[in-house]
Chain A
Amino acid sequence: MNSRLLSIIRKEFIHILRDPRTLAIMFIIPIVELFLLGYAVTTDIRHLNTVVFDADRTPQSRQLVEAYRASDYFAIARYAQSEDEIAVLLDSGAIRAGIIIPAGYGDNLARGAVAQVAVLIDGSDPTVASTAFAASQSVGQAQSIKIVTQRLGVDVTRLGGIEIRPRVWYNPELRSANYMVPAVIGIILQFLTTLFTALTIVREREQGTIEQLVVTPIKSWELVVGKVVPYIAIAFFDLLEVLVLGTFWFGVPIRGSIPLLLGLSVLFLLASLGMGLFVSSVARSQLEAMFLAFLTMLPSIFIGGFLFPLEAMPGWLQAISYLVPLRYLLVIIRGIMLKGVGLGAFGDQVLALLILGPFIMFGASRRFRKSLE
């Protein structure tokens, strides 16, 4: 191997080892991020604080409340004495849902009439609201069928009709962690390589050492490769760290091939290193480099399919998201880990990365070479 490249790599490793705090940060970032995203970003909505105003006070009304409680979606936090009290509680944010059972509910049921129940939902968080909305309906319907069955003395489900039996593949318990943990790998890979590539090059410029380097026989590609190799090594270490923690702590399955995962990640790195190189050619200080690196992270986080499903976005935003390399990596990582599929399933994603990576790298290298002059 060429001695110029080796010298740069060796020097870069010394820089990293001499700065134990930054080194620690590089290993702690993935853990913090993993725990935050694994626990905090959860769309599994359970145990919503619920208040009940039971104006009926009959065995039937108590049965209904019990059915809601048993569903796990609603945690009955308290009983109100009036509808107004529910409104006050919803306003204060102390509760998310209120169940109002009007007087005469039990009588109506006994007469075989339709009994009405109101469920109030705090819609300020749409994710919470839509779950509560669906849950309130399904609980009510199940309870309704039970009552009808009792009245008729016949099991209505035996009278024919449609029975839906949904079966969820890949993530049967619908655990958010299974969705988030693989994505954290992608975010970590991009974040570390983009930020630290940019920082390490801008630092040379700030110190004035780059002026010295350009008069040596070092070629610009050697400088770039030599400087990023240590960070790639660290990024892969972090990747394994996330895989191990994700598997043993969060119980996220790895159904596919880990070598394939690593191999395709390398493809992605070309793009994220390119972005780091680009940032380094634009930023004049390490602070600027840091801000710009965060700026490149934003589209990846928000329109890369990391937090929010791409399908829900307006068409123009989806079109832009095709330029976000992370988008493809996330499909690949989630596919390998959760579905256990092989290379054959990722033809489009691999092609996209094969085009985007070299394109970004080429553009950034040109800019970088200009910035050396």
Chain B
Amino acid sequence: MNAIALSTEHISKHFDHFVAVDHVSFSVRRGEIYGLLGPNGAGKTTTIRMLLGLLTPTSGKGAVLGFDIVKQAEAIRQRVGYVSQKFSLYPDLTVAENFNFYGGVYGVSRAALAERRADIFRTIGLSGQDQERVSALAGGSRQRLALACALAHEPELLFLDEPTAGVDPISRRGLWDLLYALAARGASVLVTTHYMDEAENCHRLAFIYRGRLVAEGTPQEMKTQQMVAQVVEIDCEPLDAALTVLRAARWFDEVALYGALIHAIGQNVAEKISPARALLQSKGVAVKSAQVILPSLEDVFIARLRSVDVDDPISE
């Protein structure tokens, strides 16, 4: 069996003069959860729509489960599951009816559907809700049902477009547990998100920005290899005075609040720690700790996007 579930080679999509996706190449292995991380409008959804055969690429090529995305879209659609940004369910149908409908359009028999329904609903936490109307379901349950519907035909590859937008943290956790279980069984998942904490859950991920793939790797690789700048985390009080002082000193490229801490980002930060500590204390700020840390994915992401904008400013 092919170890690659999905791959693209320099795939691009132009809308008139707007380049939505610009020479994106990446691949997803079997059993892998792959994240596409990027701000809204970066080209994530357009990429997925091309992979599903809903949009024809302007150039480049791609294959999903060994099928060409342009010529064999039907074979692809039969084998993949897709959950779009909106949870597309029928509100006047019951939970079971929605599931049976989606399973039926993939040609799954009624008997097999009944069995799978019980199985999937148990895993996903929808047991006992079969006869409830979707209109009466809470947001988290709807999202779980949307996922269950996409799994009714046991797809080998699952596309999730912003699956956790507007979903509470507990449901989100449950969703990820389910994705790991799927991946463990050999299914692959391509998930788009703009939540950084969620991106950390992916086996591998890619940053998409302005239609381009600007970085790729495991979350760990992203944090250790993608970052030219370093981060100093400062625990001090009062925070607002410390921010003002550090920004005025202009020793760091960026000084930002990070919860109850301050992140100062820049080059050669190690040697700036003691002067900064001294400066802060001279201005009456009590510094509890200051140390170089591994950057968060968010730090890496922001820094990477900055450098793209610096190298290639948006003309207008």
Contacts and interface: CB of A to CB of B under 8 A. Distances in A.
A310 to B, nearest CB: 43
B97 A4 contact: no
A3 interface: yes
Most buried by A among B55, B82, B86, B104: B104
Interface string B82-103: 1010101111110001001110
Interface string A22-58: 0000000000000000000000000000000000000
B106 A216 contact: yes
Contact of B92 (A3, A19, A208, A218): A19
Interface stretch (A9-17, A73-81, A293-301): A9-17
A215 interface: yes
Contacts of A10: 101, 104
A217 interface: yes
Given A14-B93, A215-B52, A3 B104 contact: yes
Please tell me the size bucket of the interface on A.
20 to 34
Most buried by A among B78, B88, B91, B107: B88
A6 interface: yes
Contact of A218 (B54, B80, B105, B109): B105
Contacts of B52: 215
Interface string B176-213: 00000000000000000000000000000000000000
Contacts of B78: 217
B132 interface: no
Contacts of A217: 74, 77-78, 105-107
A211 interface: yes
A14 B97 contact: yes
A4 B78 CA distance: 12
Given A6-B104, A214-B54, A18 B93 contact: yes
A373 B54 contact: yes
A211 B104 contact: no
B90 A4 contact: no
A371 interface: no
Contacts, number: 66
Contacts of A373: 54-55
A212 B88 contact: yes
A162 B187 CA distance: 95
B117 to A, nearest CB: 14
B105 A207 contact: no
A209 B104 contact: no
A137 interface: no
A159 B80 CA distance: 95
Contacts of B93: 11, 14-15, 18
Given A18-B93, A214-B54, A215-B52, A208 B88 contact: yes
Contacts of A18: 92-93
B97 A211 contact: no
A211 B104 CA distance: 17
A372 B77 CA distance: 15
Contacts of A215: 52, 54, 77, 80, 82, 84
A211 B84 CA distance: 8
A207 B107 contact: no
Contacts of B92: 14-15, 18-19
B77 A207 contact: no
A7 interface: yes
Nearest to B149: A212
Nearest to A213: B105
Contacts of B88: 207-209, 211-212
B286 to A, nearest CB: 53
Nearest to A11: B101
A285 B109 CA distance: 34
Contacts of A212: 82, 84, 88, 102
A217 B81 CA distance: 11
A100 interface: no
Contacts of B86: 208, 211
Contacts of B74: 217
B166 to A, nearest CB: 14
A207 B54 contact: no
13 contacts: A3-B105, A3-B107, A3-B109, A8-B105, A11-B101, A15-B90, A19-B92, A207-B91, A208-B88, A209-B90, A212-B82, A216-B102, A373-B55
Given A4-B107, A212-B84, A217-B74, 10 more contacts: A7-B105, A15-B93, A209-B88, A211-B86, A212-B88, A215-B77, A216-B77, A217-B78, A218-B105, A373-B55
